Amino acid sequence: MRLGLAIVAIGAVVVIAFILAARFAGRHGVVRSRDEVARYIEDFLEGRGDDRDWDEFTSIGIRDPNLDRIRQSCIGNETNPLVLRALLDEVRARAA
């Protein structure tokens, strides 16, 4: 009986730890440089990489709010190269 309770308690602690880690990571996003963001957009426009690369870029928030705004602006504009080129130019202009 005690072993069963211990297993349930350990399982609950592990689940809570995962939930807290996911919330903490989601709130802060990943650190990406302007060059990395530009490379993701350029690779997509040029047909380099694959769908997983673009999905990774568009699905994970970026800690820098300006770069994250650009990432969010890319979402839904995959079929509009003019918008993506403008966003790419914006990233590059800020890097200079």
Tell me the average pLDDT across 69-94: 96
What is the reported pLDDT for 51?
83
What is the reported pLDDT for 55?
95
Tell me the average pLDDT across 1-7: 69
What is the reported pLDDT for 79?
94
> Is the pLDDT higher at 7 or at 51?
51
pLDDT bracket for residue 11 (50, 70, 90):
low
Number of independent structural domains in the chain: 2
Residue 44 makes CB contacts below 8 A (sequence gap 6+) with 53, 54, 57, 78, 84
Total residue count of the chain as it appears in this document: 96
24/38 same-domain check: no
25/39 same-domain check: no
Mean pLDDT computed over every residue of the chain: 84
The range of the structural domain enclosing residue 43 comes to 34-95
